[in-house]
Amino acid sequence: MPAVHLERENKTVKVKGLRVKEILKELKINPTTVIITRNNELITDDAELSNKEKIKILPVISGG
């Protein structure tokens, strides 16, 4: 199972999904409110992951 680091909560969790889209749905995260990185590179929500992969989910911060 892939490992997902949730930056907002500062914790890492294991998830069942192998596509980023599935993982966001599993964690009940709106994809428009976060960016996802793998090895410090941005990935899209249709990216596939391997069982031992680690990704980070970072909140999008906007200001004005």
**Residue 47 maps to which CATH number?**
3.10.20.30
Q: Tell me, what's the pLDDT at 62? A: 74
CA distance linking residue 3 with residue 29, whole number of Å: 16
**How many domains are contained in the chain?**
1
The closest alpha carbon to 59, from 10, 22, 21, 20, belongs to 10
Per-residue pLDDT tens listing for the chain (64 residues): 889 999 999 999 999 989 999 999 999 999 999 999 999 999 999 999 998 899 999 999 877 6
Assess contact for 55 and 38: CB atoms under 8 A: yes
Q: What is the pTM of this model?
A: 0.86
User: For residue 64, is it within any domain?
Assistant: no
Structural domain span for residue 25: 3-59
How far does CA 8 lie from the centroid of its chain? Answer: 11
CA distance linking residue 14 with residue 33, whole number of Å: 21
